[in-house]
C-alpha cells in the first residue's frame, strides 16, 4: 500500500487530484490524506467539494473524508510517502526542500521547479533564487512530462509537473522538431486558448463573469510563464517561437493551433507516421488521422492530449492542433501519470 497526501485540495486541480486518487485502483484501502492550512481546523472535504461526497450520503458524519491541518508530524505519523502539491509557486518553492528532507517523494503542480535555466525562472521572481538550497533542489527536479522523460521520472524524488499550455504545445511540436523537420528559421507560431479554470480558483477582474463571458481576449504576450518551458523542452531560442495565450469563455479545456514550415516536402502519411511512432508507447496521447483535427469537447474531462494536423498541398506548410483538459492532462491527470511511473504502476492506471 502507498500512502499519499494532497496539499492544496481546495483548488480546481486539487479537487481533480482528490477525485483521481480516491478512485485509483492501486490505492484502494489507502485513502489520501487531504491537507489544509496549518492554523486551520479539520473540515469535511464535502464542505469544499460536494461532488466528492463519500457514499454515506452526507459526507459530514463519522468516517467522512476530511481536510486536516497541515504539519510534517502528521504526514510522518500517517506514513505518507508521496506528497502532491497543488499550491501556489511560492509555497511550493518553500515546502519542497523540507519535504525532500523528510524523505518524501514529491509531485509539484506549480511552476516552482519546472525550469532549469535561471533566466527562464526570472519571470517568477522567487525570493530564494540563487540560494544553495534552491540550487540543490533544482538539480533533483525532473520535468514531469512522461512522454519525454519517462525513465527519469521513474527514479525521481521530485517531479515538476508541466504547465497546461506547455503540455499542449510541447507534445504537438516535439516529434517534428526532434526529427529535424521544422524550418526554425521561419519561426514557429503557437496560438493557444484556454478555459477560465486555467487561471486558478482565486477570482480576478479578468476571470470575472462580466469580463470572460461572450468574450475572447489575448494576454501574456511575450511574457507568459510557460514560455520558458517551451524554450527548454523544445531546445528553441526565444526568436524562433511566438506563443500567444487567449482566455476562452468556457470552464475548462485548451486548444493550441501551431503553425510551422517544414524543411523538406512531405506527404500527410509521412507526418502521421512520425507522430504515431513518437507516441507509440504513450497511452495518454491520441493521434488523429491525417486531415482530421481534435476539438476541446473530445478531450474535456479526460486525461488525453489529442493531436491532429493538416498539411498544405505544397507539402511544406503544416498546421498542428492540440487539445487537452487543462485540469487533467494539463495538471492533475499528468501528476497522477507521474505518480504511477514513480510507483512502478502502469502509466495510465486510474486515468483511462
**Closest by CA position to 166, among listed 93, 278, 241:** 241
Phi, psi of 63 (to 5 degrees): 85, 0
Report which of 272, 248, 256 is spatially closest to residue 305, judged by C-alpha positions: 256
Spatial contact of 162 and 145, defined as CB atoms under 8 Å apart: yes
> Is 164 assigned a catalytic role?
yes
C-alpha cell belonging to residue 1: 500500500
Place of cell 492533475: 332
CA distance linking residue 351 with residue 16, whole number of Å? 11
Q: Are 201 and 11 in contact (CB under 8 A)?
A: yes
User: Is residue 282 within 8 Å of residue 348, measured between CB atoms?
Assistant: no
The catalytically annotated residue of 164, 305, 323, 343 is 164
**Three-class secondary structure of residue 301 per DSSP:** coil
Report the C-alpha gap between 281 and 262 in whole angstroms.
25
Q: Is-contact 169 322, C-beta < 8 A?
A: yes
d(CA 53, CA 137): 37
DSSP count for the chain of H helices, then E strands: 13, 15
Q: Are 11 and 341 in contact (CB under 8 A)?
A: no
Query: Contact, 70 vs 35, CB < 8 A?
Result: yes
Residue 324: half-sphere exposure toward Cβ, Cα within 13 Å: 31
Name the DSSP letter for residue 325. Answer: -
Any idea which residues carry the catalytic annotation? 164
Amino acid at each position: 500500500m502507498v500512502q499519499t497526501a494532497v496539499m492544496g485540495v481546495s483548488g480546481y486541480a486539487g479537487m481533480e487530484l482528490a477525485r483521481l486518487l480516491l478512485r485509483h485502483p492501486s490505492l484502494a484501502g489507502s485513502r489520501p490524506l487531504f491537507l489544509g492550512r496549518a492554523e486551520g481546523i479539520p473540515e469535511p472535504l464535502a464542505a469544499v467539494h460536494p461532488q466528492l461526497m463519500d457514499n454515506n450520503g452526507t459526507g459530514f458524519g463519522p468516517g467522512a473524508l476530511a481536510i486536516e491541518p497541515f504539519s510534517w508530524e502528521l504526514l510522518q505519523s500517517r506514513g505518507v510517502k508521496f506528497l502532491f502539491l497543488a499550491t501556489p509557486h511560492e509555497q511550493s518553492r518553500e515546502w519542497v526542500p523540507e519535504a525532500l528532507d523528510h524523505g518524501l517523494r514529491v509531485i509539484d503542480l506549480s511552476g516552482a521547479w519546472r525550469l532549469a535555466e535561471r533566466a527562464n525562472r526570472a519571470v517568477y521572481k522567487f525570493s530564494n533564487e540563487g540560494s544553495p538550497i534552491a540550487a540543490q533542489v533544482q538539480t533533483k527536479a525532473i520535468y514531469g512530462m512522461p512522454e519525454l522523460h519517462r525513465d527519469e521520472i521513474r527514479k525521481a524524488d521530485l517531479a515538476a509537473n508541466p504547465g497546461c499550455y506547455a503540455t499542449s504545445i510541447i507534445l504537438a511540436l516535439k516529434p517534428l522538431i526532434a526529427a529535424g523537420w521544422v524550418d526554425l528559421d521561419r519561426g514557429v507560431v503557437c496560438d493557444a486558448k484556454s478555459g477560465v479554470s486555467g487561471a486558478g480558483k482565486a477570482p480576478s477582474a479578468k476571470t470575472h463573469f462580466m469580463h470572460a463571458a461572450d468574450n475572447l481576449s489575448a494576454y501574456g504576450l511575450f511574457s507568459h510563464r510557460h514560455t520558458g518551458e517551451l524554450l527548454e523542452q523544445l531546445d528553441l531560442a526565444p526568436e524562433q517561437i511566438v506563443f500567444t495565450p487567449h482566455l476562452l469563455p468556457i470552464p475548462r479545456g485548451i486548444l493550441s493551433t501551431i503553425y510551422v514550415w517544414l524543411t523538406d516536402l512531405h506527404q500527410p502519411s509521412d507526418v502521421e507516421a512520425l507522430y504515431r511512432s513518437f507516441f507509440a508507447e504513450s497511452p495518454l496521447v491520441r493521434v488523429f488521422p491525417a486531415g482530421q483535427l481534435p476539438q476541446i469537447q473530445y478531450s474535456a474531462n479526460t486525461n488525453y492530449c489529442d493531436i491532429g494536423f493538416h498539411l498544405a498541398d505544397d507539402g511544406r506548410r503544416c498546421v498542428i492542433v492540440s487539445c487537452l483538459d487543462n485540469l487533467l492532462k494539463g495538471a492533475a491527470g499528468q501528476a497522477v501519470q507521474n505518480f504511477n511511473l514513480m510507483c512502478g504502476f502502469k502509466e495510465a492506471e486510474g486515468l483511462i
